[in-house]
Every structure is written in C-alpha cells, then in structure tokens.
Amino acid sequence: MTPRPRKLKVAVLFGGRSVEHDVSVVSAQGVMGALDEARFKAVPIGVTRQGTWLTPAQTEQALARIRQERLRSLDEPLGEGLLYRTAALAALRRVDIVFPLIHGTNGEDGTLQGLLEMAGMPYVGAGVAASALGMDKALQKTFFRHHDFPVVNDIEIKASDWARDRENVLRAAEATIGYPAFVKPANGGSSVGTSKARSREDLDVAIAEAFRYDRKVLVEEAIDAREVEIAILGNDEPEASPIGEITYEAEFYDYHAKYDDPATGLHIPADIPDDVATRITETALAAYKSIDCAGLARVDFFLLPDGHFFLNEVNTIPGFTPMSMYPKLWEYAGLPYRDLITRLIELGLERYQEKPRG
Ligand SMILES: Nc1ncnc2c1ncn2[C@@H]1O[C@H](COP(=O)(O)OP(=O)(O)O)[C@@H](O)[C@H]1O
Ligand SMILES: [Mg+2]
C-alpha cells in the first residue's frame, strides 16, 4: 500500500483590528469549511479586535462560541500585543503555508506579509509592496496615475494640514474638486468613514469623519457611474474572470449596502458591450501586474454610460465568503470555491519556491 501523502497544514489567519473584522470571520469560516480535506488541514489562528493573536486551540474555542452564540467577532478586552503571545506565533512553525484573510490594517496592508517574509513562511496572496499599494488609496492612485491608468481626480489631505488650517484645506478642495465630492480615509475599506459631500458644511463634516480612521484623507470628484468588479487570479501570468456588477438602493455602496441590505445585487456577468469588457479586463490585468500583485485581487471600476471607465481600486484581500463577488466570479467561470482555494494555496507555494534563498 502506498502511504498517503501528508496533508499540508494551512494556517487560516482571520479577524484583526480593522473595521472589517466581522467579514473576515465569515470569510475564514467559509474557507475552512470548503478546504479540500484530502489534501489540506486547516489550522485556525484568530486575531481579536484588540489585535491579540489566539493560539489554534483558543481560536477553536472562540469559533465554537461564535457558532453557538451567533457572535460575529473575536473579543478579548485585555488583549496584549503580538510579542506577548509567542505561543500563537510559534503555531506557525507547524504549518506549511499561511492563508491571510484579515482585511485592512495589519492584514492586507503589507505589515502581516512583512512578518511572514521575515519568518520565512509561504503565504497566499500579494507580497509586501503590492499589499501596501493596494491598501493605501493615496499611494495607489499616485502610482496608477503615473502609469497612465484612468483614475478619478482627487486631492490628498494630511491630518497635519487639517489641524493647521481647515479653511485653507476646504478652499483648496473646492477649487480643485468641487461638488459633489467623495471623502474617504486613504487606508480604509468597506466604505467606513466614506461620505458624499454637496456643500462646504458637508465637506467639513465628511473630512473630520474620515480623519477618525486615518491620518490621510482623499477628496475625490464624485462619479455617477455603474460599479463593476473583476477577479484576477495568478502570479506572473494572471488570469481574469468575467466582469460582475454591483447594484444597490443606497446613494452609494456604503457599509449597509455591502453587508446588510437584501436590495443589493451582484450581477454576473455584467451586461457590458464586448469592446468595453475587453478594455476593462486588459486594464485590470495591467494594473495587477503593475503593482506586482500575486495570488489574487479584485479590481473595481466605475463605468460611465459612454463606455469610459475609471480604475477605482485594487483589493488584495477581497471579501472571500462563498457569497462574495470574488469567489462568485470564479464559480461562474467554472472554478468552484473549493478549487479556487486549492489554486490559491498552490500559487502561494509556487511563489515561495521562486524566491532565491542564499
Ligand atoms: N469618486 C467616487 N465617485 C462615486 N462614488 C464613489 C467615489 N468614491 C467612492 N465612491 C463610493 O463609495 C464606495 C466605497 O469607496 P471605495 O473607494 O471603493 O472604498 P472602500 O475601500 O471602502 O471600498 C464605492 O464603492 C462607491 O459606491
Ligand atoms: Mg471599494
């Protein structure tokens, strides 16, 4: 009898300090539930809202409570920093690859990827630089603009400018962007801290609100457009899914529309003329490659009625529940959730093997 090959241990890292903690918990449960058990074994590592890493055993207990009590998050009010939880970090010694499913801060922004690079661990998804560019909308837009990608006009405001001279900032935003304007934290997600401003009063409130989440804020021209998204999968030779469209009843795709509103719809494939779809697909692939992305990303666009479009953002850890746009797009393309997860793990291992180690 041939011995059965050893199952690869996959650490599923989820939760975290960002506003997208709850979504991450759902994504992680989806991935762990769908992991191909013949090849992989999931090792869950939860990070609490306070930033504390739990050991796999503690995470199992926390997940059982989440299921029993219908909780949505991991909480430990007396959380300590990462360096005090060496047991949780040491759990990584016994796994073969890490699947980061933490959105936003310390998960999607390159910091976690840096830790994993230093630890010499293979992981799923984008590396340090692509993650950092994917997270920071200000840096990302500057980069894309320099590479001639179509991006919406904006100005960037630093907290120090705002503190020094609010009037001046408001005047500059009005002169360059005008109304209506979208105001958002540079490092954010799930539309938290994002609002539409139609007047100076709105703008003042919107900027102050966005600064609750970041020290950099963008004021953008508001675009009246359809919102379409495409899933990219691969390392140096990535592939694109068909295009999907989001529709919602809210004024924009805000937090409620994203997670709680049954009126929100995902339409796959989006009803778009072929030539426009081709250009969006090419732009998404080029954007992915330009930031040296790996594994996966969802690339989001604003599409105007005349076929022109703007590249809105690249998400390196997109929502990954079985119902989320990224997996749904691949499912439509013929790659079911389970096989998508397997492919992402393989891509993470391939990328790790490619790196010279001297
Ligand atoms: N310039 C804009 N014009 C029109 N709508 C916008 C603009 N910027 C953001 N929005 C709306 O806000 C949502 C969230 O903004 P986005 O930049 O995608 O940040 P997040 O990372 O939170 O998804 C978008 O999906 C869209 O509905
Ligand atoms: Mg978005």
Residue 263 half-sphere exposure toward CB, CA atoms < 13 A = 9
In this structure, the dihedral spanned by the alpha carbons of residues 307, 312, 315 and 321, taken in order and rounded to 10 degrees, is -60
Residue nearest to atom 21 of ligand 1 (CA): 189
- What pLDDT is recorded for position 289? 98
Nearest ligand, CA 213: 1
Tell me the CA–centroid distance for residue 190 and ligand 2, in Å. Answer: 7
Residue of 278, 274, 283 whose CA lies nearest to 301: 283
Tell me the CA–centroid distance for residue 312 and ligand 2, in Å. Answer: 7
Residue of 102, 115, 112, 109 whose CA lies nearest to 132: 109
Counting every residue written for the chain, the total comes to 358
Integer Cα distance of 269 and 111 in angstroms: 34
The reply to whether ligand 1 has any atom less than 6 angstroms from the CB of 316 is: no
pTM: 0.96
- What pLDDT is recorded for position 337? 98
The reply to whether ligand 1 has any atom less than 6 angstroms from the CB of 301 is: no
Residue nearest to atom 1 of ligand 1 (CA): 222
Tell me the CA–centroid distance for residue 7 and ligand 2, in Å. Answer: 36
Please name the residues in contact with 10: beta carbons below 8 A apart, sequence gap of 6 or more.
Answer: 35, 40, 41, 42, 43, 95, 96, 97, 98, 99, 345
Give one DSSP letter per residue of 99-162, joined into a string. EE---STTTTSSHHHHHHHHHT--BSS--HHHHHHHHBHHHHHHHHHHTT-----EEEEEHHHH
- What pLDDT is recorded for position 70? 73
In this structure, the dihedral spanned by the alpha carbons of residues 312, 314, 319 and 325, taken in order and rounded to 10 degrees, is 60
> Which residue is associated with the tokens 């746009």?
325
Determine the atom of ligand 1 nearest the C-alpha atom of 310. Answer: 1
- What pLDDT is recorded for position 172? 97
pLDDT in tens, the chain (358 residues): 667 779 999 999 999 988 889 999 999 999 999 999 999 999 999 998 888 889 999 999 989 988 887 777 777 655 566 777 788 888 999 999 999 999 998 999 999 999 999 999 999 999 999 999 999 999 999 999 999 999 999 999 999 999 999 999 999 999 999 999 999 999 988 999 999 999 999 999 999 999 999 999 999 999 999 999 999 999 999 999 999 999 999 999 999 999 888 999 999 999 999 999 999 999 999 999 999 999 999 999 999 999 999 999 999 999 999 999 999 999 999 999 999 999 999 999 999 999 887 6
Contact assessment for residue 119 and residue 109, using Cβ atoms and an 8 Å cutoff: no
